[in-house]
Structures are given as structure tokens and as C-alpha cells.
Amino acid sequence: MTLAREIVRRWKSVKTAPVPDAVLAAARLHCLDAVGVGLAASSLPQGEPYRCFSAGGQGGISLLSGGSLASAADAALANGGLIHSLEFDDTHTGSIVHGSAVLTPTMLAMAQACKADPDAALRAYLMGYEILIRIGLAAQGSFQNNGFQITSAAGPLVSAAIAADLMGGNEDDGVNAMGIALSQASGVFEFLSNGSSVKSMHPGWAAHAGIMAARLAMCGLTGPETAIEGARGLFAAFARDDAAPARFKALLGDLGSRWHMLDVAFKFLPCCHYLHPFDEAAGRLAAEISDPAQIAEMILRIAPGAASIVCEPWAHKQNPPDGHAARWSLPVVAAMRLVEGRVDLDMFREKASPAVLALAARSRWEPLAQHRFPNAFEAEIECRLADGRTLSARIEDVFGNASRPAGESDVLTKFRTNAARCLPDASIRALESFFLKPGSPDMAAFATALAVRT
């Protein structure tokens, strides 16, 4: 049996089985968090391309940016782009996938288009996340090492599975949808060369591609059965890992009993997740360094697997061209925390300050000798001061990850702060009720909450 067919069969066999309450609660909280991030983005310059793209659209699917409604596929593209445009969306660190940025817009668009029961739609989101995580775990780091973002390379196949499921497709429809989606898989890391904003499109396009693939499959278009394990399939073309299909098959064995959703990390800073522990380390050092100008040299130690994203080329990272590009700059984010005392949405509106760039210029990076990447995001900073002292701080894992989980109150505070940028209090409360309370009667409550803007 091919892996795509095994996914569909296992999916259908467990999708109505009992799910632990803690798992469903986590899924609800992650969906709410993703919507909040998308709402915040809709009020900022990073959201303008998606507001422009969806202006004047036709369809009945709600947009996080408000205004005109759109088709399911276009809404998923715009909403996924918004959710990912601030680097504020969740991550499963072990597999390095931004699952909610792909799967939440897919689920919301298809639930509205198909008038699906919200609880059934949530289960489809959950099943999709479990599959996407297992793809990442099967080829840990291989997609990234070959220049592809796994979220956008594997995301279309999982989005297609969700869409086919919510459309009521049969087994062959699901298999064909994943095969068709493979031909739309994409997402390269070349955006790092200049910090361009196209990365935000990666999960939105994956969601769009999956919905289109499912629609085409339901219309009779066929795709390769071996989309995952084939000689030119997902793992071969993007991960270039011959052993990954076997590992993935083994990981499918506990689908429905082992819930990786409980390990998905929330992000509390709007920048690359690899940088978050450095913010924490810099915060500790800031308590001991009264004047950052006295730092003669800052040494940043990071796991080699993360360095290619946030350290290379170093000269570019020390002086990124604008605020958005700084979201992937190790020296600037560390310096920002020491000099400005905070790393938040407003800090990335413009190019970093001269004082931040000056400290970034006095920094260098080294590989962290012992690390657990990607299962943990660690950081070590050493500051050598002009008075001869040397101070250091180490973070063993990022806050919000499974080893240091965030509480519901932390996530709700983040959501409310983000949503308040564009929605009134009544809409914010309505969205919280819709996502966090089981048994919502239909998707109308979601659409109504988004319709009113401040």
C-alpha cells in the first residue's frame, strides 16, 4: 500500500475515534492563536499585499483582513499569508513545521465552503497537523538543508487531505488530491538573500494548492499514488532522504494514539523561532549590563542547524536592509533586546536603530558545541565588556516549547493583544468563544466576529 493511501485509510479510521480532551483543547488554542496573529498582520504593513490581493474578491469565505469575501482557495492563500507574515505563528520544533499557518486557513475556508460542523473541522485540522509533524520528523532537517521550507513543501499535501476530507471525498479522492498537490509544492529559502517578504506566502500558497488539488481530484483529475515515497516524490525531491519514507511509515503506526499536538510550541516574539532563546539570554544579561555601549564584543553561540537561517551571510545579518529582514538576524535581535529592552511588533516596523546596529557590528557567532537542535532551541551569549569582565547566559530551550510550556493565559493575552489591533472587544470575545468552547453550531459565529472592524 502506498503511503498516501495509508494516510487516507488511517485518517478515516481514527477521525471519529475519541480524542483526549487536552489534545482538543490544545488544537483549539493553536487555531485561536493563529487567527490572532493573522488579525495583527492585517493591521500592519506586512499585511498590505494580502489586503490588496483580496480586495474586490468574490466568494463567501471570510478574510482575516476584513472587507471583501473571497473564494475558499484565495481566502486560504490570503489568510495563510497573513498568519505567517510576522513570524509570530506556532512551530512544532522537532519537525520544524509551521503547521497552523497552513492548516488553520485550509480548515476555516473549507469549513465555511462546505458548511461543515466546526468540531469536525477542528478534528480535520488536528489530523492534518499530526501528519505534517510526522513528515517533518521522518526527515528531520533534510528539507531545510536542501533549501526548502518543509511547511510549504509538505503543506500542500496535508492541506489537500484536509480539503478532500471536509468535501466528503472518498479514499481515491484523498489519494489523488495529495498526488496533485505534490505538483504544486514549493517554498525555497532564497528569500534570505535580501529578507524579502515572499516567505509569508509559503503556507498560504500551500493551503491554496491543497484546496485546488482537492477540488480537481473531486472533478476527476488524478495524481501519482507514490506522491510521498516515489523516486521523484516528496521525500526524494525535497528532502533527498532515501530512508525517510520508511521512517514516516513507522511514525504513522501510532496515529490516533500518540498526539504530537501537545508538543507544538507557541511563539511570543514576532521573529524567527531560532532567535527566541537569544532574546531570553540577552534579557538576563541586560540585568547586569547597565550600558550596552560598554560591550566590546558579543559572542553568540547557536546550533549549526539553525545558523544557516539566522547567521549567513553574517555581514548581511549584521546590517539587514529593513525591519522585516531583521526578523531573521541573530545579531540584530540579540542587540535589540540589550539596547532597546524589548523585541516586539513595533521594533520591526523600521530599520534597526544605530545603537542596535553598532552592537550587532561588534558581534560574531560560533557553533554551539553541544546541542539538542531541533528538539530544543538553545542559546548561549557571551559578552566581553570594556572593563575586562566577561558575562554569559545560556538558555536550554525556548519558552513556549514542550519542555517549557506556555499556559492558556499566556496565549489568551497574546491573542487579545493581537486581535485588539483591528477588532472590537465584542468580536474578540466572540472568537474566543467560537474556538475554545466545543459545540459551536456553525461557522456563522466566526464570520460575524470578523465582519466588524475598529
Give pLDDT, residue 57. Answer: 79
What's residue 15's pLDDT? 83
Q: Supply the range of the domain harboring residue 371.
A: 273-395
Q: Residue 261's pLDDT is what?
A: 98
Q: Domain end: 395, 417, 441, which one?
A: 395
pLDDT exceeds 80 at position 399:
yes
CA–CA gap between residue 122 and residue 69 (Å, rounded) = 22
Answer yes or no: is pLDDT of 441 > 80.
no
- Non-local (6+) Cβ contacts of 5 within 8 A are 171, 175, 225
- Cell 539587514: give the residue: 320
Q: Which of 374, 395, 416 is the last residue of a domain?
A: 395
Asked if 260 and 163 sit in the same domain, the reply is yes
Average pLDDT over residues 387-409: 96
Q: Which of 48-57, 229-238, 324-333 has the lowest mean pLDDT?
A: 48-57
Same domain, 294 and 263: no
- If you average pLDDT over residues 106-129, what whole number do you get? 96
Total of domains in the chain = 2
Q: How far apart are CA 289 and CA 283, in angstroms?
A: 10
The pLDDT assigned to 64 comes to: 96
In this structure, are 89 and 140 located in the same domain? Answer: yes
Q: Pick from 229, 19, 48, 54: which is nearest to 135 by CA?
A: 229
* Residue that terminates a domain, selected from 350, 365, 395: 395
Q: What is the CATH number of the domain that holds 284?
A: 3.30.1330.120
Pairing state between β 390-395 and 379-385: antiparallel
Helix runs in 85-117, H state only:
99-114
Is 17 in the same domain as 129?
Answer: yes
Helix axes 21-42, 425-436, angle to 10 degrees: 150
Contact 354, 319 (CB under 8 A): no
Of the chain, the percentage scoring pLDDT greater than 70 comes to 100
Asked if 164 contacts 218 with a C-beta cutoff of 8 angstroms, the reply is: yes
Distances (CA, A) of 436 to 271, 340, 399: 26, 36, 23
User: What per-residue confidence (pLDDT) applies to 67?
Assistant: 76
pLDDT of residue 383: 98
Residue 61 is classified by DSSP as: B
Residues 145, 136: contact at Cβ < 8 Å?
no
> Is the domain of 135 the same as that of 192?
yes
Mean pLDDT over 109-134 rounds to 96
Q: What is the mean pLDDT of residues 387-415?
A: 97
Please give the Cα distance from 78 to 53 (Å, whole number): 7
Place 330 in a pLDDT band, splitting at 50, 70 and 90: very high
Beta-carbon-side half-sphere exposure of residue 259 (alpha carbons within 13 Å): 19
What is the four-CA torsion angle of 95, 101, 104, 106, rounded to 10 degrees?
Answer: -100
Domain annotation covers residue 400 = no
Mean pLDDT, residues 209-231: 98
- Res. 130: pLDDT tops 90: yes
Q: Record the cell numbers describing residue 105, joined without a space.
A: 486557513
Please indicate, yes or no, whether residues 201 and 100 belong to a single structural domain of this protein. Answer: yes
Q: Is the pLDDT of residue 238 over 90?
A: yes
381 has pLDDT over 90: yes
**Are 246 and 301 in a shared domain?**
no
Same domain, yes or no: 231 and 161: yes
**Alpha carbon distance 440, 442 (integer Å):** 6
Could you tell me if 140 and 305 are in contact, meaning their C-beta atoms sit under 8 angstroms apart? no
| Whether 107 and 249 share a structural domain | yes
Residues 238 and 369 in one domain: no
Residue 319 CA to chain centroid, in angstroms? Answer: 25
pLDDT tens sequence across 55-97: 877 888 999 998 778 899 999 999 999 999 999 999 999 999 9
Q: Is residue 192 part of a domain?
A: yes
In this structure, the answer to whether residues 444 and 383 fall within a common structural domain is no
Residue 153 lies in a domain: yes
Average pLDDT over the chain reads: 95
d(CA 357, CA 346): 17
Residue 49 inside a domain? The answer is yes
Residue of 369, 106, 150, 118 lying closest to 239 (CA atoms): 150
| CATH code of residue 193 | 1.10.4100.10
What's the confidence (pLDDT) of residue 54? 87
318 plus 426 within the same structural domain: no
Tens digit of each residue's pLDDT (9 = 90 or more) over 331-360: 999 999 999 999 999 999 999 999 999 999
Range with the lowest mean pLDDT among 59-73, 116-130, 226-240? 59-73
Q: Which set of grid coordinates corresponds to residue 159?
A: 492541506
Segment 146-176, tens digit of pLDDT = 999 999 999 999 999 999 999 999 999 999 9
CA atoms within 13 A on the CB side of 45: 9
Nearest to 107 by CA among 418, 436, 435: 435
**Exposed/middle/buried for residue 176 (C-beta within 10 Å: 0-12, 13-18, 19+):** buried
Do the beta carbons of residue 111 and residue 122 sit within 8 Å?
Answer: no
pLDDT at 440 over 80: no
Phi/psi at 118 (nearest 5 deg)? Answer: -55, -35
Dihedral, CA of residue 220, residue 5, residue 145 and residue 299, to nearest 10: 110
For residues 233 and 374, what is the distance between their CA atoms, to the nearest angstrom?
24
Quick one: which of 292, 293, 360, 350 has its CA closest to 323? 350
**SS3 of residue 398 by DSSP:** coil
